[in-house]
Amino acid sequence: MKKIYFLAFLLISWNAFAQGLPGLGAGTTPNNRPILHGKNWVAITGKPLAATAGSMIFQQGGNAVDAACAMIAATSTMWDVLSWGGETQALIYNPKTKKVIGINAMGVAPTGATVDFYKSQGMAYPPQFGPLAATTPGTPGGIMTMLAEFGTMSLEQVLKPAMDLAKGYPIEAQTANAIENNKARIKEWPYSKKVFLPHLGEQREAPSAGEIFVQEDLYQTLLKLVEAERAALKAKKSRKEAIYAAYDRFYKGDIAKEIVRGTREQGGLFTESDLANWKVKIEEPLQVNYRGVDVYKLQEWTQGPALLQSLNILENFDLKSMGYNSANYINTVYQAMSLAFADRDFYYGDPAFVKSPMKGLLSKEYAKERAKLIGEINDPKITAGDPYPFQGESNPYLNLLNKNKQTVAALSPEDLKAGLDEKFLADFQSGTTSVQTADAEGWVVSVTPSGGWIPAVIAGNTGVGLSQRMQSFVLDKNLNPYNLPDPGKRPRVTLTPSLAMKDGKPYLAFSVQGGDSQDQNLLQFFLNVVEFDMNVQEAVEAPNFNSYQMQSSFGDHEIRPGAITLREDTPEWIRRDLLRKGYIMDFWNKTSGPITAIWIDWKHGTFWGGASNYGDDYGIAW
């Protein structure tokens, strides 16, 4: 009899969970981590020490932008799947103007980085690693621009935690083991070998977990920035002018010269003018309204608009009635993402070079047409649509779009049954980190910095690890005519911070690491909150599914139509339904993704912070 009662309880609990009912299983129950509650500020990022850096800045009186800058600097110093030569992109809510601002600190292709150059090297895509994978450094400029324009503190104050880390910190196992596992490639680059492998010749040449990891060259580079700021302040320059003096030293002074020298010595293409001519862009983000919530993403040089397109498509369905993570819900959301990401793969690129049809892509009318393609069975041959008529124009690449459709239509049964091998998954879900901050004054910041992950080429004696983001370009215009490399052009990246507003006020800040899975995880997180009434910690821990029916932005840019990763506790009846709907399934212990998020509780004037239990993500609130 006890077994019958227990089984009945399990069925009731799962049904309540699936329907999103409050009280009984409305989200993951219990949470693996506590909700963060704060009255004054919240700081959440990928590593505990970096969250501590943000809390230090808040405790010194800094605002959310100051804290975010300190956290980006700290995570870059800790090689949290990024470095100082990587890229930074952010969304900032400014309570003074009551507007959301986009920060575009993505580096660009250097001089000589063209389709013909890479093809002359026998490459089908720009390489994953090495000096020819590097875009110009963006993160230093991003930090300094955010701080100068929207922060309150000096660069010296904000860089102090990172400088302390560079002088030596106890390295965590994740980074230490990544160095050891990649040491063969690291040894190809002399400056990387000097920094990463302090025990050359020993069985373990990388640092061990808990060992003090020292980066003296990086410390000296950061000190030079502080010295430039001090000199400007001594010359009676303003706080902002002094920060930009440091900016100029990095991009036009002795630091830039050493970055260029060290990169070219190792086979890279950088010139001094590449760094000097690069500028951070402060731009207007893109936005759609989903059931009364305004959702903001960066422009189409990121994959962010794919989340907005997905929301527009899904607005045509009653998701809540389907039940959370039911087979119908998964099938509907999966296909909506497939439609949006097919458009991403063909149309997105740097708008400074070729203007993508974003007005049409983000129109509600186009979304309604795309929604009509969603059926009971998954379509593994979904391709990009034609949004140009929805903005009153003709498609200039219609011939390439038709070729693209023909290529997809010709996929063989073997192509459609391809499994998920380890290398494909590693490339597809290449990580980064995330930063979320908010304060009582009203500033809210969401950042997804990345680039320069291990194994990274370090640029000369600067300690600056270079980005590997060139690999996100394609060399075949039939794949994407908007995302071909040209000097000065930004690749279409996966990095995608998010902000949402409701009733004219900040509502959610959220981002996640994980390559092409980012906007998939963020879409499901957002729906968890808006459709299924989960609190922020429930929503970041809740099981997501990952689709691979989109072109990877990394490595060989592969695609796996119909492939899906689900959490291993997915019930058998849902597995059977998905199998009938045409899915190739893979199961993991954790699928939530390392999501970090802040929900603003206007009723009580407080913040709720969430950091998933997927990885090392960590938050502090007060």
Q: Is the pLDDT of residue 26 over 50?
A: no
Number of helices followed by number of strands (H, E) in the chain: 23, 19
Query: 390: which strand partners?
Result: none
Q: In what order do the strands lie in the sheet with 618-621?
A: 281-283, 99-105, 88-94, 444-447, 435-439, 41-45, 618-621
The mean-pLDDT minimum among 24-28, 201-205, 306-310 falls in: 24-28
List the Cα angle 359/476/394 in 5-degree steps: 30
Measured CA distances, 260 to 49, 146, 456 (Å): 31, 25, 16
Cβ–Cβ under 8 Å, residues 360 and 284? no
Biggest distance spanned by C-alpha atoms of the chain:
84
Predicted local distance difference test score (pLDDT) of residue 504: 96
Residues in Cβ contact with 608 at an 8 Å cutoff, skipping those fewer than 6 apart = 35, 36, 37, 535, 536, 537, 598, 599, 600, 601
Q: Are 90 and 509 in contact (CB under 8 A)?
A: no
**Which tokens sit at 453?**
């992950």
pLDDT at 6: 36
Q: What is the pLDDT of residues 313-329, one digit of tens each?
A: 999 999 999 999 999 99
- In this structure, the chain runs to a length of 622
> Of 167, 129, 184, whose CA–CA distance to 465 is shortest?
129
Mean pLDDT of 158-168: 98
Asked whether the beta carbons of 109 and 489 are under 8 A apart, the reply is yes
Q: Which residues pair with 445 in a beta bridge?
A: 92, 437
Cβ density class 73-82: b for 16+ within 10 Å, e for less: bbbbbbbbbb
* CA distances to 308, 392, 472 from 385, in Å: 16, 15, 22
Which of the four pLDDT bands, split at 50, 70 and 90, describes residue 432?
A: confident
**What value does the mean pLDDT take over residues 273-277?**
98
Q: CA–CA separation, 139 vs 225, rounded Å?
A: 14
To the nearest 10 degrees (0 to 180), the angle between helices 572-580 and 327-347 is 50
Q: What is the pLDDT of residue 251?
A: 98
Residue type, 113: A
- More reliable by pLDDT, 471 or 407: 471
Mean pLDDT of the region 137-160: 98
Q: CA triplet 440, 446, 447: central angle to 5 degrees?
A: 140
> Is the pLDDT reported for residue 8 higher than 80?
no
Average pLDDT over residues 94-118: 98
Q: Where are the alpha helices (DSSP H) in 500-587?
A: 518-530, 536-541, 572-580
**Residues 6 or more apart in contact with residue 395 via CB below 8 angstroms:** 357, 386, 388, 401
Structure tokens at 15: 């049904």
The per-residue pLDDT of the chain, averaged, comes to 93
pLDDT of residue 430: 60
| pLDDT in the model for residue 74 | 97
pLDDT tens column, 182-191: 999 999 999 9
Task: Note the pLDDT tens digit of each residue in 206-216.
Answer: 999 999 999 99
pLDDT for residue 1: 43
Whether residue 554 contacts residue 515, with contact meaning beta carbons closer than 8 Å, is answered with yes
pLDDT band at 31 (very low <50, low <70, confident <90, very high): confident
pLDDT on residue 514 = 87
Cα separation, 489 vs 279, in Å, equals: 12
**Residue 21: predicted pLDDT:** 38
- Quick one: residue 297, left, alpha or beta (phi over 0 = left, psi -120 to 50 = alpha)? beta
pLDDT score recorded for residue 412: 67
pLDDT band at 431 (very low <50, low <70, confident <90, very high): low
Stretch 19-32: mean pLDDT, rounded? 49
Residue 622's contacts (CB-CB under 8 Å, 6 or more residues apart) are 38, 39, 40, 41, 55, 58, 59
Where do the H-state alpha helices sit in 151-238? 155-167, 173-181, 183-186, 190-196, 216-234
Report the C-alpha gap between 544 and 333 in whole angstroms. 11
Question: How does pLDDT run across 562-577, given as a tens digit for each residue?
Answer: 999 999 999 999 999 9
What interhelical angle do 139-150 and 239-252 show, nearest 10?
Answer: 170
Q: Is 467 helix (H, G, I), strand (E, B) or coil?
A: coil
What's the pLDDT at 534?
A: 97
The pLDDT score that the predictor gives to residue 417 is: 63
- The CA-to-CA distance between both ends of the chain, in Å, stands at 49
Alpha carbon distance 397, 409 (integer Å) = 18
Instruction: Please state the rounded mean pLDDT for residues 389-393.
Output: 98
Give CA–CA dist 131/158, Å, rounded: 30
Dist CA 443 CA 68 (whole Å): 11
50 φ/ψ angles, rounded to the nearest 5 degrees: -70, -35
- Residue 4: predicted pLDDT: 38
